[in-house]
Amino acid sequence: MSIVDSRSIVYQIISGEYKGKKCVLIENIGLREDCGVIFDDSNGNDMVYVPKRFLSQLNIPGWETKIYDQTYGLIEFMSEESHSGRCMLRTTHAAQPKALRQGDVLATGELVVENPRRGYNSSILIHLDKTGWVELAPRFPIALKGNRKFKLAAELVLNENLLTTCEIVSSPVCIDINWVAICFNHPPTAPISIPSCIPLALS
């Protein structure tokens, strides 16, 4: 039951001119026999159309990402350095997605079975033992085992604060099966989608 954006699912071309190349779908129009793809090793500008029957979905979504050893705690997070975009907050009972490691246990009891991967548009993919692959924005603070101050996305209420000081400015909305949209005050953004199974650490 993986919860992954379709643009983070990697395919391999198994027949035709581009046989063996990895790619992602960027266009899939209804009942058409072909779909637009871009290659995994390109700069993203080269699109080709490939018959759907020539594509095989790979078991592992996304792409390998560099593993960072330099995490930081809440004090560092509150400093200006935390706004560098590294999103490597990790405390005893919470971690941002990039700071998760194989063997971590979420507050909901799910086990992280391998290190994170990179998804579409800088998202992070984490592999959980029960849910499978889950994709989310790198800024979210995930509650780990032992953390009792957490809620699932659909349970959040107006004016509630996440551990990362983001305040909920409108009630969460279930936008699709297993996806919930949340709006924050900082930075002011359009709704951000998050899988419904992820326990979010509260302040």
* Residue range 94-122, pLDDT digits in tens: 999 999 999 999 999 999 999 999 998 88
Q: Give the pLDDT of residue 152.
A: 94
Three-state secondary-structure class, residue 98: helix
The CATH code that applies to domain 6-57 is 2.30.30.30
Q: Which residue has the higher pLDDT, 88 or 86?
A: 88
Please give the share of the chain, as a percent, with pLDDT higher than 90. Answer: 52
Task: Tell me, yes or no, if the pTM score tops 0.75.
Answer: yes
Whether the per-residue pLDDT at 179 is higher than 70: the answer is yes
Task: Delimit the CATH 2.30.30.30 region(s) of the chain.
Answer: 6-57
Q: What amino acid is encoded at 158 in this protein?
A: L
Q: Is the pLDDT of residue 81 over 60?
A: no
* SS3 call for 94: strand
Lowest mean per-residue pLDDT among 78-82, 85-89, 149-153, 169-173: 78-82
Contact 42, 49 (CB under 8 A): no
Lowest mean pLDDT among 68-77, 95-104, 191-200: 68-77
25 beta partners: 37
What span, in angstroms and rounded, lies between the C-alpha atoms of 117 and 114?
A: 9
Instruction: Express as a percent the part of the chain with pLDDT over 70.
Output: 91
Peptide bond into 187 cis (omega under 30): yes
